Amino acid sequence: MPVDLRLYAIIDPEHAGGRSLPDLARLVAEGGATLVQLRDKVSDTRAMVETARAVKAALAPFGVPLLVNDRVDVALAAGADGVHIGQTDMAAEDARRLLGRNAIIGLSINTVALAEAAPIALLDYVGIGGVYATMSKQQKKAPIGVEGLRHIVEVFRRRKAGFPGCAIAGITAANAGATIAAGAAGVSVISALALAPDPAAAARALRAAVDQALAARR
């Protein structure tokens, strides 16, 4: 089944606005998030597994899948729906072998060369960016911008029709539409949801912007 990337919320204990991650996951799901990723660079493994299980339970009433960033072991232990991996994490081949054919696996892409080399037969989607500047993750490279996003999307369209990619980094309700117009299937968001006074309302606004842009593109 294709993964729904329209509003891909990333929750992170370092950028949670003072909320627990299960509560934050519930709020963004209420607002229309279609996919949630747990990204945790600070907790130990046991705590991560416990958090992932609690987040998965919070998302269950909404039918929203949970992915874990980087940690295939945590995803397996917690019964998550899959993982998102970066270029220096476990290889997609190994993640697929461990998680099985039904798991969702995404890969970070920020250049045309990486897009050309990505093992798309093993992947369900790619995260493309950073598109804009962001404060929620240390950016080692300059943002690729909407044009950079467009070029990478074109590579995947050529390689496999309909293969989905989401735009990531610095996405807000104000600029989400531009990334969809450039070919993204959705947006991946941290700060604009987690740090909003009302994450559910922020999710509704973002989801509306994405849906409107997708409708205009058809």
Give the residue from 45, 32, 36, 29 showing the smallest Cα distance to 188.
36
**What are the backbone dihedrals phi and psi of residue 98, each rounded to the nearest 5 degrees, phi first?**
-75, -40
Give the residue from 144, 75, 82 showing the smallest Cα distance to 113.
144
Q: Is 39 a catalytic residue?
A: yes
| Catalytic-labelled residue, pool 56, 96, 137, 207 | 137
| Catalytic-labelled residue, pool 108, 136, 188, 191 | 108
Identify the H or E element spanning 67: strand 66-69
- For 104, the token pair is 């969702």
Q: Where does the chain have alpha helices with state H?
A: 21-30, 45-59, 72-78, 92-99, 112-117, 145-159, 176-181, 191-194, 199-217
Q: How many CB atoms lie within 10 A of CB 44?
A: 8
DSSP letter for each residue of 158-174: HHSTT--EEEESS--TT
| Catalytic-labelled residue, pool 39, 71, 204, 207 | 39
Q: Is 137 a catalytic residue?
A: yes
In whole angstroms, what is the distance from residue 210 CA to residue 178 CA? 9
In whole angstroms, what is the distance from residue 97 CA to residue 205 CA? 38
Q: How many CB atoms lie within 10 A of CB 196?
A: 21
- For 3, the token pair is 């993964």
- Catalytic positions are 39, 108, 137
